[in-house]
Amino acid sequence: MKVKAKGFGKDKKIIRKKKDLLGPARKRFCRFCADKLGSIDYKDIKRLEVFITEKGKIVSSRFSGNCARHQRRIRELINKARFISLLPYTR
C-alpha cells in the first residue's frame, strides 16, 4: 500500500510504508508443540532466559511464537524461578 506525502505541486512524493519494505511476514510456530516436549521445568534456566528481555520483561507470544497454552506455562515457570532466585526480576 502506498501513501502520498503531504504537500502540493511538484513536491509530492510517494512513500512506501515500512511494512511493505519488510516483505512477507513468516509464520511463527510454537517450539514446544513442534518439538513435542513433554514438560518444561522451572529449573531449566537456559531455556527460560530466551523468553526474557534484557530489562527482565517476559516476551509476548507475538514475538516468541508460542501458543497460548505454552505461553501461560512459561509465564508461571518464570515467576516460580524468579521467586526461588534462579532468575532475576530485573537486570
Domain map of the chain by residue range? 27-83
pLDDT averaged over every residue in the chain: 81
pLDDT greater than 90 at residue 21: no
Choose among 47, 40, 54, 45: nearest CA to 81.
Answer: 45
Q: What percentage of the chain carries pLDDT values higher than 70?
A: 70
CA 9 to each of CA 6, 15, 71: distance values in angstroms, whole numbers, following the listed order: 10, 16, 52
pLDDT digits (tens, 9 = 90+) for 49-89: 999 999 999 999 999 899 999 999 999 999 999 999 999 98
**The domain made up of 27-83 is a member of CATH 4.10.640.10:** yes
C-alpha cell at 21: 519494505
